[in-house]
Amino acid sequence: MIPFHLRMTLRRAGRLTLLFALVFGALLLGACNRGDSIEWRLTNVSGHMPDLDFHLVDDQGKAVTGQDYRGKVVLLYFGYTHCPDVCPLTLAQLHVVMQRLGPLADGARILFVSVDPARDTPDIMHAYVNAFDPRAVGLSGTPREIEALSKRYRSAFTREPDKGDGQYEVSHSSAIYVFDRDGKARLLATPANPQDDLVHDLHLMLSLGNPT
């Protein structure tokens, strides 16, 4: 039997996933019908989402921007280190994806943006993301900066009520945004996509540069 707290987490994730689907519905339908010459398996959002752009702090305490990751294929994901299930599962999956890509993975970076900046300090973020993959970078910022970035990519997150001991959970969208080496938004992955599809599309993007 699924524990009560896990059932509640899954329900919250389901609500956010539904909201995410409704917001992206028309946008993604148009993207899928573009007739792109590249046979992507993931959802093609080329031309329908903004470029990679932010001003945050990385897990070394250094101020960074989207420009600092030009030249790399970027996988952007919103989450937090106290996440009980979705985040660790996603990062573990991305680690396996990187392993399957072999040497090509050196051309990619996983950017894990915290939606819980109050608790996710650079030191905590560094230990967390590096426990999964050396190509992962933890990013944080002020609540206003995180909210602005989330809105930029039509992501969503909600802090749940404090349990009374300073502990709380944050419900959040679980999409992975893929940007090419020029910082252009190209693909969108969701938990419904098989791992093979992500490996296939990243291999194609990393092998061929930025195909159009």
Q: Domain segments of the chain: what residues?
A: 4-208
| CATH-assigned architecture of domain 4-208 | 3-Layer(aba) Sandwich (3.40)
pLDDT, position 22: 37
pLDDT, position 36: 54
Least confident of 63-72, 86-95, 157-166, 196-205: 157-166
**What does the pLDDT average to over 80-86?**
95
Which residue has better confidence, 115 or 30? 115
Question: How confident is the model over 47-57, as pLDDT tens digits?
Answer: 999 999 999 99
Check whether 40 has a pLDDT greater than 90.
Answer: yes
**What does the pLDDT average to over 171-194?**
96
Alpha helices in 33-56 (DSSP H): none
pLDDT, position 138: 98
Check whether 15 has a pLDDT greater than 70.
Answer: no
Q: Is 188 helix (H, G, I), strand (E, B) or coil?
A: strand
Least confident of 20-29, 67-76, 159-168, 181-190: 20-29
pLDDT, position 208: 79
Which residue has better confidence, 42 or 19? 42
Mean residue pLDDT across the chain:
86
Whether the Cβ atoms of residue 134 and residue 94 lie closer than 8 Å to each other = no
**What does the pLDDT average to over 19-36?**
41
Strands 63-65 and 55-58: antiparallel
Any idea which residue has 């090509």 for tokens?
104
Which residue has better confidence, 147 or 38? 147
Question: How confident is the model over 106-130, as pLDDT tens digits?
Answer: 999 999 999 999 999 999 999 999 9
**What does the pLDDT average to over 75-94?**
96
Least confident of 4-8, 38-42, 204-208: 4-8
Percentage of the chain exceeding pLDDT 70? 81
**What does the pLDDT average to over 186-191?**
95
* CA triple 108-112-118, angle to 5 deg: 160
Q: Which pTM was predicted?
A: 0.81
Alpha helices in the chain (DSSP H): 4-32, 86-101, 122-130, 143-152, 195-208
